[in-house]
Amino acid sequence: MESGLGGIVMLAATPIGNTDDASARLRRALETADVVAAEDTRRLRDLAGRLGIEVKGRVIAVHDHNEGERAADIVRVAAEGGTVLVVSDAGMPTVSDPGYRVVSEAVATDVPVTVLPGPSAVLTALALSGLPTDRFCFEGFAPRKAGERVRTFGALAAEPRTMVFFEAPHRLLDTLRAMSEAWGADRPGSVSRELTKTYEETRRGTLGELVAWAEESQPRGEIVVCIAGRPAEALGTDAAVSEALARIDAGERAKDAVADLASTTGLPRRELYDAVLRARQARAADEPPR
């Protein structure tokens, strides 16, 4: 379905850096939509200026803080025969960006929804990473607080798929360190920054190497991190104990974590459970008294 048919909500991907990546469909939709719901109206006007086009429809701001309140009104425009275009600052709406509530409202009220595909930081970084792409998962932004990062990465310790994360430059080093502690310094990964822009860069290596690089270079710009999933081969006892501890820290029961790891590694369950108990006792003994 194309812009101009009316009675539809359109999600449109916008350039993630290079304006030349704007599609012809995006240009037409920006010029003809009755309403353009933009994450940041100033950035939308700037994009239109760089594209040399005029946004003739009504422009409204729809962001994380007001989308819930405005979703019904936006969808009502389409229900009454209008064309609504939803755009975020960069990339595809709904992917760590506003748009999900609008789509949910449209689906709930049986209003047609379509997508104008285009640039995606997730897929671009994944393709550049050199890691397996046949199966992957997108995890959004890593938690800001250290304790939440530990729990999140512990819960992902057994994830076999390539994992993709967004991250802010000032938190990148802490995130890479936490990943290295949770999954091992030898886990392969990549860090991509400033995708499609003049200073685009992708750094590949183990988590240990990426930590050292981030410490030295202090990278800036918009960042996407890709990390390989857990290797399919069986883990050794030490690695299995480390993974069990990470999963327990994330809230999993010790018996459940050990049972799962024993079944996937072939290690004797009782032997692994005893090793985990010893490791927990040793860790508790090393902790300073409160």
β-bridge mates for residue 83, sequence order: 8
Residues 96 and 140: beta-carbon distance below 8 Å: yes
What integer pLDDT is reported at residue 235 of this predicted model?
64
What integer pLDDT is reported at residue 171 of this predicted model?
96
What integer pLDDT is reported at residue 290 of this predicted model?
56
Can you spell out the DSSP letters for 135-179? SEEEEEEPPSSHHHHHHHHHHTTT--SEEEEEE-GGGHHHHHHHH
Could you say which architecture CATH assigns to the domain 122-227? 2-Layer Sandwich (3.30)
Residues 27 and 116: beta-carbon distance below 8 Å: no
What integer pLDDT is reported at residue 236 of this predicted model?
78
* Mean pLDDT per 10-residue section of the chain, whose length is 290 residues: 65 96 97 96 96 96 93 96 96 92 96 96 97 95 93 89 97 96 95 96 98 94 95 73 90 90 81 91 74
| Helices 172-183, 207-217: crossing angle, 10 deg rounding | 160
For domain 8-119, say whether CATH 3.40.1010.10 is its number.
yes
Q: How would you classify the pairing of strands 162-167 and 83-87?
A: unpaired
Name the DSSP letter for residue 185: T
Strands laid side by side in the 162-167 sheet: 136-141, 162-167, 223-227, 188-193, 201-206
Exposure on the CB side of residue 1, measured as CA atoms within 13 A: 16
Residues 100 and 94: beta-carbon distance below 8 Å: yes
Residues 10 and 38: beta-carbon distance below 8 Å: no
Q: How would you classify the pairing of strands 136-141 and 201-206?
A: unpaired
What integer pLDDT is reported at residue 72 of this predicted model?
96
Our separate counts of H helices and E strands in the chain read 11, 10
What integer pLDDT is reported at residue 1 of this predicted model?
40
Cα–Cα distance list, 21 to 15, 25, 27, 29, 117 (Å) = 6, 11, 11, 15, 11
